[in-house]
Amino acid sequence: MQKKFHYNIALIGFMGAGKSTVSEHLGRMLDMEIIEMDQLISRREGMRISDIFEKHGEEYFRTLETKLLIELQTGKNVIISCGGGVAMREKNVQEIKKNGRIVLLRATPRTILARVGNSDDRPLLAGRKDVESISRMMETRREKYEAAADIIVDTDEKDVSQICEEIIQKLLEKDR
């Protein structure tokens, strides 16, 4: 199978927007390797993300993300499922864009709550599992997410196949 894309595809967006689910499906469709940043950092550190936050703080974790993105720029044809905060650092966006395109996955606060409301692995949501809190957090990130994105795909009320087809179509259009 001929590769459709000769660069990495990085999925960004708020927690629960669908990055992990979409990256798995897209990876199979495009025959590309998948890197789940949070999983890889967790494995390397030998602890859950919430424990890294608790033990070392958010800044330490954000630095691990940046180092991993720099490392990933040596590869090609990789789908990178980024943690929700990756696009908040300009350096991260610059690293991804050296060898990739950024796809912003969006969902409404109500959809986010439905998807992650029962999870205890979201340190930034601790004590804030309601539509209003999620909406406020999303708003603080919106501008940087949108500025970083090469393309934007809304995930509400679409199945994973529809989302992946839209990503592929929009990337091919952008590459023309």
pLDDT by residue (tens digit) across 111-139? 988 877 666 555 455 555 678 888 998 99
pLDDT of residue 1: 47
H-only helix segments in 78-159:
90-98, 109-116, 131-148
pLDDT band at 50 (very low <50, low <70, confident <90, very high): confident
pLDDT of residue 125: 55
Q: Which secondary-structure segment (H or E) carries 55?
A: helix 49-56
Pairing state between β 8-12 and 33-36: unpaired
Mean pLDDT value across residues 87-116 = 92
Q: Say if CB 26 and CB 167 are below 8 A apart.
A: yes
pLDDT of residue 73: 83
Output the pTM of the full model. Answer: 0.90
* Cα 17 to Cα 25, 109, 123, 171, distances in angstroms: 14, 9, 16, 19
Q: Look up residue 37 and give its two tokens.
A: 């940043």
* Cα 139 to Cα 12, 110, 132, distances in angstroms: 15, 14, 11
Average pLDDT of every residue of the chain: 89
pLDDT of residue 33: 94
Q: Look up residue 10 and give its two tokens.
A: 């990085």
pLDDT of residue 106: 96
What is the share, in percent, of the chain residues with pLDDT greater than 90?
72
Mean pLDDT value across residues 54-80 = 92
